[in-house]
Amino acid sequence: MAVTAAQVNELRNLTGAGLMDCKKALTEANGDVQAAIDYLRKKGAKVAELRAGRAAAEGVVIAKTSDDNKTGVAVYISCETDFVAKNEEFVKLATSIADAALAAGAKTSEEVLNLTVNGTLVSGLLQEKVSAIGELITVSGYGSLSGDSVVAYNHMGNKIGVLVAMNKPLNDAVGAIGRDVAMQIAAMNPIAVDASGVPAEVLEREKAVAREKAIAAGKPENILEKITEGAANSYVKENTLLTQPFVKDGSKTVAQVLGAAESGLTVTNFVRIEKGAAK
C-alpha cells in the first residue's frame, strides 16, 4: 500500500526517527504504525549495537548562573566529531538546554532530558539531531550548585565548564577571585574542596600504594605507618582545592588567596565537567 506523508509525520513524531527511516518502516509494515514502531525498534537495536564502539567524546560544556548569581548549572552535550561540536547550531542547542535546566532547577541529567525547549522535549530535540546528523548525541554530564554566590567559567571552546559556590554574596572582589578559582579548578582538577570531601577508599588506595613502594624499597616495618600517613597527607594537599598552591601565585594556597580577597571567604562546593568525561 502507498504510504502517506501524514503517516510518515505521525511515526516521526512518535519515534524521532528520520523521514526515510519512517517511510521504509511503514512500507515494510504495510502502513501499520505500531508494526512500524516495532520495526524501528528492531532496527534501532542493531544501530545501537553497531555504534556501541563509537565514542561520543566530543561536544560542548555550557556553564551558566542565574541572574541573582545564587544558582548555576553545567551541561555537557556530547557528540562524536569535533566538526559537529563546533557547529554554531549545535552550540546554540546546548546553550538553550542549559538555559532550560537553569530555569527549571533541574538536578539530574534525567530531569534535563524531560524538560521542554520551545515546546519540545529535550530528548526529542536530541533525537532530531541524531536523525539529521547520524551521530550519537546526548546529555553526557550535568551538575548544579547553589550558594551565597555562584560563579561560572567556560574554558576555551567550551571544553570544560566549572561552577564555584562560595559563602559570601557576590561583589566585584568575590566575583574576580571566584573566576580565578574556577580557572584553577579547570586547570588542576581537584577531587574535593578539602580533606573532608575525599572518599575514604581513595585515601586507603594511596596508603596501600605507598606501603607497597616502601616495602619494595626495603623500609623497616616500624616506619611503614608513618610513611603511609605521610603519603595520604601529601595526596590530600595536592588534590584538594583549598590546600593547592594558587596557580597565579604558587607561594599561597587557594584558601589564603580567598581569605585575602574578603575576610572569611571560602569555597563551599564546586562542579567541574570536562568534554569526553561523562559524569
* CB atoms inside a 10 Å sphere around CB 227: 17
* Cα–Cα nearest to 125, from 107, 142, 139: 139
* Cα–Cα nearest to 98, from 58, 60, 130, 124: 60
Task: Give the chain's mean pLDDT.
Answer: 90
Q: Around 122, how many Cα atoms within 13 Å sit in the side-chain half-sphere?
A: 24
| pTM of the complete model beyond 0.95 | no
Mean local confidence (pLDDT), 236-258: 96
Full set of structural domains in the chain with CATH:
5-51 (1.10.8.10), 58-194+242-274 (3.30.479.20), 199-239 (1.10.286.20)
Mean local confidence (pLDDT), 39-53: 59
Would you place residue 10 in the very low, low, confident or very high pLDDT band (cuts 50, 70, 90)? confident
Q: Which residues of 249-270 are buried (b: 16+ CB within 10 A; e: fewer)?
A: eeeebbbebbeebeeebbbebb
* Cα–Cα nearest to 272, from 171, 153, 135, 157: 153
Q: Answer whether 133's CB lies under 8 Å from 148's CB.
A: no
Residue type present at position 92: K
Give the helix ranges, DSSP H, for the chain.
5-15, 19-28, 33-51, 82-85, 88-104, 109-113, 122-133, 172-188, 200-216, 224-239, 254-261
Distance CA 177, CA 175 (A): 6
- The lowest-confidence range among 42-46, 104-108, 172-176, 250-254 is 42-46
- The lowest-confidence range among 33-37, 39-43, 66-70, 247-251 is 39-43
DSSP state letter for 192: B
Give Rg (Cα) of the chain.
24
Does residue 236 have a pLDDT over 50?
A: yes
Distance CA 152, CA 162 (A): 6
pLDDT, position 20: 86
- CA 110, 111, 116, 117 dihedral sign is negative
Would you place residue 47 in the very low, low, confident or very high pLDDT band (cuts 50, 70, 90)? very low
Grid cell 623500609 in the structure block, residue: 219
